[in-house]
Structures are given as C-alpha cells and as structure tokens.
Amino acid sequence: AAADFKAKMIAERPSWASRKASQEALEQLTAAVPELIGGSADLTHSNLTITKATRPVTPEDAGGRYLHYGVREHAMAAIMNGLALHGGFIPYGGTFMVFSDYLRPALRLSALMGLRVLYVMTHDSIGLGEDGPTHQPVEHLASLRAMPNLLVFRPCDPVETMEAYEVALENTAGPSLLSLSRQNLPTLRSDGGENLTALGGYVLAEAEGPRRVTLIATGSEVELAMQARDILKSRGVAAAVVSMPCWALFDRQDGAYRQRVLGPGTVRVAVEAGARFGWERYVGPEGAVIGLDSFGLSGPAGEVYRHFGITAEAVAEAALARI
C-alpha cells in the first residue's frame, strides 16, 4: 500500500496540506492494517484522521475503529497508552500541534513505557494563519524533540508523510509524532524507492556544481529552501537542499553519512517556522537559522511568514552574507 501510494503521489504531484497527505495515507494504511484504531480530540474534520475503514465506536456499537474523544487531549493520549499496553491495537490520535501541551504527560509516558502510539498533530506553525498566536506552535517542536524515545516527524510532502507513517508503524519501541501543516505544500520528491525519511535527513536536491551552501529545512519550509536554492543559483552560488524530517533518526546515522549530507566546509542555513533552539548543532557557529524568537500573529499565512522574515529571499541572503 505504501509503495503504491508513493508512486501515485510522484506521478500526480498534488499540492496538499500535509494533514491532507496524512488523511490519504491513513486511508491506505487503515484498510491494510486492521490493528490501527484512530481518533481525535474533537477535531476530526480538521485533523482529517477518520477514514472509510475506521467506523466510529458508539454506545450502541463497540465494534468500530475510531474514537471521538471530545475535548480531552490528555484522556485521549492516556487511553491510547492503554490500548497499546493491552496489545492487538496500534492507536493513533489527532489534535492541533499547540494542544500537544495538554496531552504531554501521557505522551511522556508513551515514551517512557516504550509504547507504539501515533500522535497526529496538525496546524503545526504560523502557517495556520488567522487563528493567531494562541493556536500557532512556536516552541513545541524544540520541546518535543527534547523528549527521550519520541520520534518527531515534520514531513514536507505526501511521500515523506507516508514514509513517516511507515517508520512509525515499524517503531515498536516507542511513540511517534507527526507535525503536519494546514497550508498546501507541493510534492517535492521524485523518487519513492528507498524510505529516505527513515534516515532522518537526506539531500533532496544536490548542488549544480561544487556545493558552497547547504540549506536545511523541515516540513512546509522545505519549499522555501528549494526556492532559495534557485535564487542562489541565479547569483552563481551552488546550493544543496537537505530535508530533515526527523532529527532523532538523523542523529542515529553514522558520522560519515551525516557529514556527507550536511556538506563539510559549506555555509549552512536552516529554516523552520518555529523556535530556532537546537538548530545550532547542524548549522554550526558560522551558520544561520531562519526561524522565530517570538509568538506568532493573526493574518493570512503568507503575510505572517513575510512579517517574521521567513522567506526564500531571507534564506538566500543569509547564505550570501556568510560566503
């Protein structure tokens, strides 16, 4: 199911929000894996977590595979832990990324107990737009990445989204969390043979000529990195783009692979619509990080990105300033 899905995405190249890519991936996976039991904390039609195969559980019908948890993020995560401990189920549940704060104690226990629980966190950045700073995650990615034994994925397109689910389903020793966009994103991958997301980070687009700059991004900002690469090319600077959907998995790779991906001796610039915290480990002391150091703002996504200087032009200028 996963291979066919990835091949279809590469052929059709849809522009979907990664929450929509998640929904389409779950349609395939819930049909193929009967152990999957889904749910959402009162945001089913925003998280897009219900599928044709997951009939809701009701007081009259306990035979379904989807739980409407209500506005109970902590209870949802705690129940998913119980399902995983019982055995025979692979639970997944959704809410907005910013509300991961409400379920964090139970998520921490998922990680501490080594439970295969899947967290589907949508609306993952300032890109959600008009809902404003109360709903726009900023520090959440950094905080969640700091949790031991939790795989945090931020996929850039439908191919990476399906690959993240593949890794999550194979990860029987701990939970996985998918950080997913509200806004539409282009399909960037052109090869679905190897699960590159399983490597944590990889070269999505190599430099045309000797590499002078390495642009590193996750999720919705990979598109910006690709645009910045084109700007740099027009200025005679050869740049590569690294997609890094999962820091923890990238850090598990051997040193030679990590150095090859990050480009020894190159100027490194990272871009992510979240807190800058932690990116220094990849860009080094001479590199740059384009991100946030404040809470967000209410407004159309594109305008909010421009307000905070998270643009392809800013990424390119940061690289040029360091050459």
Catalytic positions are 73
Please tell me the distance from the alpha carbon of residue 97 to that of residue 68, in angstroms, as a whole number: 18
Residue pair 37/63 in contact (Cβ under 8 Å)? The answer is: no
Please report which helix (H) or strand (E) contains residue 268, including its range.
Answer: strand 267-275
Q: How far apart are CA 50 and CA 84, in angstroms?
A: 19
Token pair for residue 316? 């390119």
Indicate the SS3 state at residue 252: coil
What percentage of the chain's residues is helix, strand, coil (to nearest 5)?
40, 20, 40
Q: Residue 273 contacts by C-beta under 8 Å, 6 or more apart in sequence?
A: 125, 126, 127, 219, 220, 221, 291, 292, 305, 308, 310
Q: From start to end of 100-255, where are the E strands?
A: 118-122, 151-153, 176-179, 184-185, 202-205, 213-217, 239-243
Both structure tokens of 113: 């107990």
Cβ atoms within 10 Å, residue 251 = 12
CA dihedral 116, 189, 206, 272 (to 10 degrees): -60
What is the C-alpha separation between 165 and 170, in angstroms, rounded?
9
